[in-house]
Amino acid sequence: MVCKNCGNQLRNNEKFCTICGCYNDLDASLESDAAEEDIAPETEPPVEKPKKVKKEVVEYNPDEDPLMGSYIGEDYKWIVKRPFNIYALLLSWIYFLYRKLYIIGIIGLLVTGIILRFAQIVIVPYIVLSMVFCGLFFNKIYLDIVEKRVDKLERNAKEGENLEALCKKKGGVNVFFPLLIFFFFLAAVILSFYSFNWNTKTSKFWSENGTNEANCRSLGRQVYNSLDVYKVEGELRELACVIEVVGVKRYNMYMLLNNKGKSLYLYFESDDQDYFLMKGNTDLIDELEKNKKEYGLSDSDEELLQNSKALKDKFSSIKDDASYEDKLIKDGKDTKEKLHYVFTKDDIFR
């Protein structure tokens, strides 16, 4: 029991407070204590711990984006829902071209071509890795790019324009372009490995050249062995054969001889029966010039004189023509029959 005035603790049955002297009714104090005991102290309600809320996973619904669906086409839901693309695995970079991802597809093919040409040792693992990469990541790459393209179309669209029709026009697939690029790529790879000689068995250089060369050798040998008939002496240095095609082939021979330390040029012209007439001789120039001044020359002798004067330049020109034709053969640019041949004495008599 405590004093109702100062709160001092009183002894049992003590009515007056020893501190302040206040009278304390014993019976009233007991009733007050009992009442206090009957009133329960107020307590704070227990604090409940927040419950963990499970995050709701919202599945992507392709039908909610009709513009992307219009851009991609009928495969839209399939591409969105599946992380792996079997067609991209099998077709690799060609599938990128098919889906109008031209830059990625062309770069992939260029890298493939470079490795195929210069690093064949790693081509197999590269092809395997590129196929797996395309299969695993194509859908994600494709959807990201399509989303950006669709956003751009929305921003740039004119008022009242049908966006779904526009997306359908810009998107979809392209069959012709991938095939064209693939065939160009294949041709480039093949040409990089092989050097083609376009001379074929049917070209005139191949079908006619062997016969022409053999005839020139045989007829040239025949004329050289008959020089004594023309009262000409000398050691053969070079023989040039020119073929004229006038209905039949005529073989005309130009010879360079070593005659007593000086060069002697001869020209023999054939008729239809390959009978040869001497139509030029540089050893006769001085004699013919003298006769021309003193007596004049017949038409045949005048022709012989003029041919003889031109023989040295003509022989050089024939050699140039033969070299040019040989170059055409080597470069694979033959367009007509080879008509000029030059032989040494060893070539003629081998």
Per-residue pLDDT reduced to its tens digit, 2-32: 787 787 777 777 777 777 777 777 665 555 5
Asked whether residue 44 is domain-assigned, the answer is no
The first and second tokens of residue 30, run together, are 């007991």
Q: Going edge to edge, which strands form the sheet with 235-246?
A: 276-281, 262-270, 248-259, 235-246, 340-344
In this structure, the answer to whether residues 177 and 224 fall within a common structural domain is no
Assign 195 a pLDDT band (cuts: 50, 70, 90).
very low
Per-residue pLDDT reduced to its tens digit, 42-57: 555 565 655 554 544 4
Q: Looking at residues 74-101, what average pLDDT do you find? A: 92
Q: How many other CB atoms are there within 10 angstroms of residue 137's CB atom?
A: 14
What are the beta bridge partners of residue 26?
A: none
In this structure, the answer to whether residues 118 and 208 fall within a common structural domain is no
Asked whether residue 51 is domain-assigned, the answer is no
Query: According to the model, what pLDDT value does residue 318 have?
Result: 93
* Residues 238/264, Cβ–Cβ less than 8 Å: no
Q: How many other CB atoms are there within 10 angstroms of residue 329's CB atom?
A: 16
In this structure, the answer to whether residues 88 and 1 fall within a common structural domain is no
Q: Which residues of 284-311 are buried (b: 16+ CB within 10 A; e: fewer)?
A: bbeebeeeeeeeebeeebeebbebbeeb
Q: Where is the domain boundary, 133, 168, 193?
A: 193
Per-residue pLDDT reduced to its tens digit, 141-186: 999 999 999 999 989 988 888 988 999 999 999 999 889 988 988 8
Show the domain range for 12. Answer: 1-37
Q: How far apart are CA 211 and CA 335, in angstroms?
A: 17
Of the candidates 80, 180, 86, 185, which has an alpha carbon nearest to the alpha carbon of residue 140? 80
H runs (alpha helix) in the chain: 26-38, 66-72, 76-81, 86-91, 93-98, 102-118, 123-156, 163-170, 176-193, 204-225, 285-294, 299-331, 345-348
Task: Tell me the pLDDT of the chain averaged across its residues.
Answer: 82
Asked whether residue 338 is domain-assigned, the answer is yes
Q: How far apart are CA 336 and CA 328, in angstroms?
A: 10
More confident position, 72 or 44 = 72
pTM to 2 decimal places: 0.43
Residue 205, amino acid? F
Query: According to the model, what pLDDT value does residue 27 have?
Result: 61
Number of domains in the chain: 3
What is the CB-side half-sphere exposure of residue 224 using CA atoms within 13 A?
A: 27
More confident position, 59 or 194 = 194
Q: Does residue 193 register a pLDDT over 70?
A: no
Assign 59 a pLDDT band (cuts: 50, 70, 90).
very low
In this structure, the answer to whether residues 171 and 146 fall within a common structural domain is yes
In this structure, the answer to whether residues 135 and 249 fall within a common structural domain is no
What are the beta bridge partners of residue 342?
A: 240
Asked whether residue 45 is domain-assigned, the answer is no
Q: Looking at residues 94-109, what average pLDDT do you find? A: 93
Assign 350 a pLDDT band (cuts: 50, 70, 90).
confident
Asked whether residue 43 is domain-assigned, the answer is no
In this structure, the answer to whether residues 88 and 165 fall within a common structural domain is yes
Q: Does residue 279 register a pLDDT over 50?
A: yes
Q: Looking at residues 220-242, what average pLDDT do you find? A: 90
In this structure, the answer to whether residues 32 and 112 fall within a common structural domain is no
Query: According to the model, what pLDDT value does residue 201 have?
Result: 44
In this structure, the answer to whether residues 256 and 336 fall within a common structural domain is yes
Asked whether residue 57 is domain-assigned, the answer is no
Q: Does residue 202 register a pLDDT over 80?
A: no
- Cβ-based burial of 321 (10 A; exposed 0-12, middle 13-18, buried ≥19): middle
Per-residue pLDDT reduced to its tens digit, 283-324: 888 988 999 898 888 888 899 899 999 999 999 999 999 999
Q: Where is the domain boundary, 141, 158, 193?
A: 193
Asked whether residue 50 is domain-assigned, the answer is no
Q: Where is the domain boundary, 150, 166, 193?
A: 193
Asked whether residue 244 is domain-assigned, the answer is yes
Query: According to the model, what pLDDT value does residue 57 have?
Result: 43
Query: According to the model, what pLDDT value does residue 257 have?
Result: 92
Query: According to the model, what pLDDT value does residue 18 have?
Result: 73
Query: According to the model, what pLDDT value does residue 51 have?
Result: 57
In this structure, the answer to whether residues 29 and 69 fall within a common structural domain is no
In this structure, the answer to whether residues 283 and 340 fall within a common structural domain is yes
In this structure, the answer to whether residues 178 and 73 fall within a common structural domain is yes
In this structure, the answer to whether residues 342 and 224 fall within a common structural domain is yes
